[in-house]
Amino acid sequence: MPARVLIFDPTVSSRILTRAALAEAQYNLVVAESSADAQVEMMRGRPDLILLGVVAPAAGAFAFLAGLRADPQRRGIPVIAVGRLSDPSLRLAVLRAGADDLCDRPVDPVLLQAQVRRLLRRSDSLAELCLREETHRALGFAEEGEEFLQPGRVSVVVPEGQAVLPAVVPVLDRLPGGGDVLDPRSLLTRIGSGDAADLFVIDAAAEGLRPGELFRLIAELRSRASTRHSVQIAIVPPDMTDMAAMALDLGVDDLVSARVRPAELMHRLKALLLQKHRADRAREKLRRGVENSVTDPLTGLYNRRYALPALKSVTDQAARSGRMAAVMVLDIDHFKEINDRFGHATGDKVLEEVARRLAARVRVGDMVARIGGEEFLVVMPETDAEAAAEAAERLRSGIEDRPFESNREGCPAPPPVRVTLSIGVALGAGERPGEPTLFERADAALYSAKLAGRNMVSLSRPAA
């Protein structure tokens, strides 16, 4: 479905010209000549982007922006202010009022379309992150927190031997996170070592940086893992609109003319750093939410939701390779008695310590999970019967050999807790339809260990 774009401009001729500039892109364009008309159109359907006509002294535009940014349901709609915006004070005032970008008249269709695409991409990316964040919050995996913007590192990129643009110098001096100046070769060397700034200011107006080099640099920064989520702003010559449009389409986050004033540049840099901070924060919440959904909150081990599909992946790989995999189901002996005698606080400490000891006694690449109250699962790819038996005995003895601390309140010298494990082990090179799975065989072997007296390892041999 094409994006819905609202053109709100009180001047008839300006509305016509703006609409014509976007006609080729085939957006769903709606127009409004007054604030009341604009409100009606927004009630009919939330626009994906607004093109706001600005005519000095721009009182109507300022009032519209103030109302839009105060509305919780609409404050996130991106806005491009369109008008004769050569006055630096007017440009800065419109940006501070809430416009996301500016487009000077006469409108260049190629550049305006690139500006629209850039803001629609940004809006879609933020909406996707926020949707995932809301989903995890609804499931209880993410928590609200105060937004605290830390100073970000800024790197200015200029061709070797060229001076920094005069408008950039005072901005660098005032940035709380500091900034440095690099040529493109030094920049790539630095980010190759994983040392990356939060924001890159690429001076493409300086002599020596051809359009092709700018485009490659933008693409390079977007492709590197260390700079993929950094933000970029390009400074371009005033009349090179094709170059500016291509830079936006390649992924630069903002763009200014070489005539930019320090105050406007500072505003844009702060806005980009805030944008990066919010996106990083949303990604981190998403990462924590995903992690919490597959881990046990008490022990930090994988939970059953993660472990069983991971086990299936290991057994499938074993079937393809023909190499044995070992599966262990482990159960703490008489765990209910531990809870009854020493209390649930001690029971929790026992579970945590058992998890720690198990995780410390398996190989890198093996999986340890808590799949029930006092039940654990260990999966060991590419493991034969001898190695599996040795590993199981190592896990069993690692629990038995050293008593656990108790947590009995009011007792000056709490007695130690003796803990033991029963372990069932199954091996196989994959699973056959109609036969017990490795997990089922390991579980049956665990039952045999319990019947035989507990605190032992029972091995289920591979099916013939």
Contact 383, 438 (CB under 8 A): no
Question: Is 365 within 8 Å of 406 (Cβ atoms)?
Answer: no
8 A C-beta contact, residue 326 and residue 426:
yes
Spatial separation of the C-alpha atoms in residues 162 and 120, rounded to whole Å: 34
For residue 174, the one-letter residue type is R
Q: What span, in angstroms and rounded, lies between the C-alpha atoms of 86 and 90?
A: 8
Question: Exposed (0-12), middle (13-18) or buried (19+): which is 161, by Cβ within 10 Å?
Answer: exposed
CB under 8 Å to 316, separation ≥6 — which residues?
A: 430
Q: Which residues, including other chains, have CB under 8 Å from residue 406's CB and lie 6 or more apart?
A: 342, 346, 349, 414, 415, 416, 417
For residue 409, indicate whether it is catalytic. no
Q: How far is CA 431 from CA 305, 339, 367, in A?
A: 20, 37, 19
Report the distance separating Cα 120 and Cα 3, nearest Å: 8
First to last CA, the chain: 58
Catalytic-role residue among 41, 264, 374, 431: 374
Q: Which residues pair with 255 in a beta bridge?
A: 234
Residue 431 CA to chain centroid, in angstroms? Answer: 37
Distance CA 377, CA 389 (A): 15
Distance between CA 333 and CA 423 in Å, rounded?
10
Query: Pairing relation of β-strands 154-157 and 199-203?
Result: parallel
**For helices 184-192 and 211-223, what crossing angle results, to 10°?**
10
Catalytic residues: 374
